[in-house]
Amino acid sequence: MNRALVFSLIAALIGSGSLAAAEKLNVVTATQDPASLTREVGGDRVEVTSIGKGYQDPHFIEPKPSFLLLLRKADLLEVVGLDLEIGWLPPLLEQSRNPKILPGAAAYLDLSRGVEILDRPAGAINRSMGDVHPFGNPHYWLDPANAVRMAIQIQQKLAELRPGDAAYFAQRLNDFKLRINDANKRWLADMAPYRGAKIVTYHPSWPNFVKHFGLQVAGTIEPKPGIPPSPSHTLEIINLIKQQNIKVIIMEPYFDRKTPDFIAEKAGAKVVVLYPSVGGKSGLDDYFKLFDANVNELLKALK
Ligand SMILES: [Zn+2]
């Protein structure tokens, strides 16, 4: 077989779609929660890789050279937005040499555009004091209703980029909605006895989560989002927990336990580690498992 013929055969194979693997849409996500939802919607038509891992603080991901290669090959980039990734993603994007995934371009999807955002600042945006939530709370994925809103945006973007698979993505989205609706009924029923319960959290990762389950955050161990605990604020939290008879302190797995344990001991509360993201520990492989684990841990602590 001569060379020209081999090349034309390869070209024909690629053109006809016989090399199916090569046609998968290459999706890169900033964190693992959008990645999980993209797998739900995209099925076997997408290859999804997350830059940040669920056991890392999503505000502070250490950049690696391998991330540049991921971004360079991406057909779609999904971000949580609201400046969650401001500390690490922009420099990577600048060096990625992939103009189609830059903010505002067709293959850049900011999922915060179509979800319910809590804690939006009323006045001017203020980053002083290191507030890492300047545009409202970016941990919005911790509400199943927002997970559906994210999945809808993902389905629309996938269909836009791969119109030939639009029906497939629409069917997968419907299936996801049915399954999360069923799971959510179970989560709500399990948590129902604890509606109105007050908790303290380390970082404000949980406003959407607690709103969904009718809980209340009475205070945070961080004096402001992103600011480490101070002795005076720690004392205030101890008093608050005692006065309001709060039983549970929720902390994320990537913070130091020292202050939460100290507060718990002085105030007579319990520290429970909950996972803000898919991949927060081994076995939390998707959005369903994340909620199963968190509801389960919280129930044990509240009982
Ligand atoms: Zn945060």
Which of these ranges, 47-51, 109-113, 117-121, 145-149, has the smallest mean pLDDT?
Answer: 117-121
- List CB contacts of 99: < 8 A, sequence separation 6 or more: 105
- The reported pLDDT for the residue numbered 43 is 98
**What does the pLDDT read at residue 23?**
87
CA 35 / ligand 1 centre spacing (Å): 19
Q: What pTM does this model have?
A: 0.92
DSSP string computed for the chain: --HHHHHHHHHHHHHHT--HHHHSEEEEESSHHHHHHHHHHHGGGEEEEESS-TTS-TT-PPP-HHHHHHHHT-SEEEE--TTTTTTTHHHHHHHS--GGGSTTSTTEEEGGGGS---S--SSS---GGG-S-BTB-S-TTSSHHHHHHHHHHHHHHHHHH-GGGHHHHHHHHHHHHHHHHHHHHHHHHHHGGGTT-EEEESSS--HHHHHHHT-EEEEESSSSTTPPP-HHHHHHHHHHHHHTT--EEEE-TTS-SHHHHHHHHHHT-EEEE--SSTTSSTT--SHHHHHHHHHHHHHHHH-
Centre of ligand 1 from the C-alpha of residue 126, in Å: 15
**CA 27 / ligand 1 centre spacing (Å):** 24
Q: What is the pLDDT of residues 117-176, one digit of tens each?
A: 999 988 777 666 678 899 999 999 999 999 999 999 999 999 999 999 999 999 999 999
Per-residue confidence at 10, pLDDT binned at 50, 70, 90? low
Query: How many angstroms is it from 15 CA to the middle of ligand 1?
Result: 45
- Compute the distance from residue 207 Cα to the ligand 1 centre, in Å: 10
What per-residue confidence (pLDDT) applies to 128? Answer: 64
C-alpha 89 – ligand 1 centre gap (Å) = 15
What spacing in Å lies between the alpha carbon of 277 and ligand 1's midpoint? 12
Quick one: average pLDDT of 178-192? 98
Please report the pLDDT score of residue 75 as a whole number: 98
Predicted pLDDT at 4: 59
- On the question of pLDDT at 6 being above 70, the answer is no
Q: How far apart are CA 111 and CA 240, in angstroms?
A: 35
Over residues 234-245, mean pLDDT: 98
Contact 247, 301 (CB under 8 A): yes
- Ligand 1 centroid–CA 221 distance in Å is 13
pLDDT beyond 50 at 15: no
Domains delineated in the chain: 22-185 (3.40.50.1980), 192-302 (3.40.50.1980)
- Provide the percentage of residues in the chain whose pLDDT is more than 90: 88
Q: If pLDDT is split at 50, 70 and 90, which confidence band does 16 have?
A: very low
pLDDT in tens, 271-288: 999 999 999 999 999 999
In the predicted structure, residue 114 carries a pLDDT above the cut 70: yes
Mean pLDDT of the chain: 93
Average of per-residue pLDDT across 166-191:
98
Output the CA 8–ligand 1 centroid distance in Å.
53
Please give the average per-residue pLDDT across 214-227, as a whole number: 96
What is residue 191's predicted lDDT score, i.e. its pLDDT?
98
Q: Give the Å distance between the CA of 133 and the centre of ligand 1.
A: 6
131 CA distance to ligand 1 centroid (A)? 9
Residue 17 has pLDDT above 70, yes or no: no
